[in-house]
Structure 1
Amino acid sequence: MEPVGPFSSCGHGPNARIGIVLSHGFTGSPRSLQDWAEHLCAQGYAVRLPLLPGHGTTWQELARTPWRQWYDAVERAYDELARERTTVFAAGLSMGGALALRLAACRPVAGVIAVNPGLTFANPAARFAGVLRYIVRSTPSIANDISKPGMDEQAYARTPTAAVHQLGLLFADTAGVLPRVTAPALVFRSAVDHVVPQSSTDLLRRRIGSAEVEVVELGNSYHVATMDHDAEFIFERADTFITSVAGRKQAHVRA
């Protein structure tokens, strides 16, 4: 997939050596991370925000898309940046957080930033999606869990059950490789999230292999926090994290 958004001029000034891969969430679109991507671009970072396969078309197409295609799109974005930049970070929202964590387990990312990352389901029925997909093709949308009025992440109006099954496979795979994630991690967790349960963050804390993990609570946002009241705080706090980690990495290289 080609990068989405006006990011062709990204990667300039003192931050030009740093790349950021951003991944949107399940049934969503790059719109949920567009403001963050533009913020990073303005800071001079090289940014990639791919439209994940099965997204941006119809929920029926998403129902036919295996989870490894979602991950492959993120990995290709990383590989492209890694050829051009000395330091690459992985970041994502919701399912995109899981993809970023899996990327960190498989590639030498400098750090991971995850906003309300999904690793478990809030609805117990989702665990049976592999069977239910043959009975119920779709369920109501999980989109736009946003406290701030007037926001639209441009997600699907229906959630395909077959894709929920694939999401569960991604969650299980990512949970299994979390001990291989050794890069510093910054996690944002909304106090009120109607999509991803607290058990996801609890699982991340238990299994991640990184010695440096910070979980920051968001008190004024729902699930899609990158479009909510705390968005600017997320962007600024992520800037501090990126600058700190990249600075330490550069100092280590010089030493």
Structure 2
Amino acid sequence: MPLMPGSEPYQHEGGQIGVLLCHGFTGTPQSLRPWAEYLAAAGLTVSLPRLPGHGTTWQEMNRTRWEDWFAELERAFEALRARCAEVFVMGLSLGACMALRLAEVQGPQVRGVVVVNPSIVNDVPLLKLAPVLRFVVSSVAGVAGDIKREGVTELGYTRTPLSAAATLPRLWSLVQSELGRVTQPVLVYHSPEDHVVKPASVRFLRQALGDNLTVRECVNSYHVATLDNDAPEIFEGSLEFIRTHASVPLQRD
């Protein structure tokens, strides 16, 4: 199936430190492409896959589920691990949730985690009804494009596919139940004014991870902060996070 122009995955061969980035639900790699390119310019090996069902049509996405998306993330992680001495994992929104799940599953193979406006709590009433609603309607209004900065857009679906959305509660529940397995350092970027994900997810992370967690606010951005006004601080902060926690030096091209 043809891809939306601009939704292609991104890879860069750099040094011995790898970074795996994961975009959000109904989004595309475009939302993280500037972040990926920034890290690549610093000499890192970078992988930004396109999750199954994303970047084509919402109807195709309705034939996928969270296990399909996570399997693609795991494949990209294994490829990075074979190439690099150590790997950091980063993500936006639902991609942040899957980044945390990868840290739970892979343990010390994940060196550290950086997430932006993570979605790990089912705080949208409509999604609680998705398992039933999907038999009545196939989609509802989309959530892409919550950006404060003028003139910037996110490439994503204008509709939310309900059969795909109905699989999210299982992922959220699983991640919440096993956060105790995350011993890696975790850096969270949080937008106080977010029209997609409510503060409940960050509150849950604070309670579950305690001193292992650092939270920084993106006061001038909405949900897609990686394309918004605070993006430079996210990019710079994530690189400094890698410098702090990596056991091997960064290598520039």
CA contact (8 A) 2:61 2:161 kept: yes
Q: Which residue of 1 aligns with 2:64?
A: 65
CA contact (8 A) 2:16 2:248 kept: no
Distance 1:135 1:4 in 2: 33
Distance 1:233 1:250 in 2: 23
Counterparts of residues 98-177 of structure 1 (less than 5 Å) = 98-107=97-106, 108-177=109-178
Letter in 2 for 1:159: T
Cα drift, residue 123 of structure 1: 2.1
Letter in 2 for 1:221: S
* Deviations, residues 65-92 of structure 1 (Å, cap 9, x unaligned): 0211111111111111111111100000
After superposing the two structures, state which structure 1 stretch, 166-175 or 59-68, moved more.
Answer: 166-175
Letter in 2 for 1:56: G
**Over the residues paired in the alignment, what is the CA RMSD in angstroms?**
1.4
* Deviations, residues 67-123 of structure 1 (Å, cap 9, x unaligned): 111111111111111111111000000000001000001112000000001012342
Q: Which residue of 2 aligns with 1:17?
A: 16
Counterparts of residues 171-190 of structure 1 (less than 5 Å) = 171-190=172-191
TM-score (norm 2): 0.91
Letter in 1 for 2:116: V
Q: Which residue of 2 aligns with 1:88?
A: 87
Cα drift, residue 26 of structure 1: 0.2
Cα drift, residue 128 of structure 1: 1.8
CA contact (8 A) 2:197 2:223 kept: yes
CA contact (8 A) 2:24 2:92 kept: yes
Distance 1:29 1:152 in 2: 12
CA contact (8 A) 2:20 2:47 kept: yes
Cα drift, residue 250 of structure 1: 4.5
Cα drift, residue 212 of structure 1: 2.1
Q: Which runs of 5+ in 1 are unaligned?
A: none
Distance 1:211 1:110 in 2: 17
Cα drift, residue 211 of structure 1: 4.4
Q: Which residue of 2 aligns with 1:240?
A: 240
* Deviations, residues 13-32 of structure 1 (Å, cap 9, x unaligned): xxx11000000000000000
Q: Which residue of 2 aligns with 1:35?
A: 34
Letter in 2 for 1:193: D
Q: Which runs of 5+ in 2 are unaligned?
A: 1-7
Distance 2:38 2:126 in 1: 38
CA contact (8 A) 1:146 1:228 kept: yes
Distance 1:125 1:27 in 2: 16
Distance 1:217 1:49 in 2: 24
* Deviations, residues 119-163 of structure 1 (Å, cap 9, x unaligned): 123421211211111112111110100001121221001001111
CA contact (8 A) 1:122 1:195 kept: no
CA contact (8 A) 1:184 1:211 kept: no
CA contact (8 A) 1:82 1:88 kept: yes
Distance 1:103 1:167 in 2: 16
* Deviations, residues 176-215 of structure 1 (Å, cap 9, x unaligned): 221111100000000100001100111122223x742100
Matched, 1:4 2:3: no
Distance 1:234 1:250 in 2: 22
Q: Which residue of 1 aligns with 2:4?
A: none
Distance 1:61 1:169 in 2: 21
Distance 1:122 1:148 in 2: 25
Aligned length: 240
Q: Which residue of 1 aligns with 2:3?
A: none
Determine helix, strand or coil for the equivalent of 1:110: strand
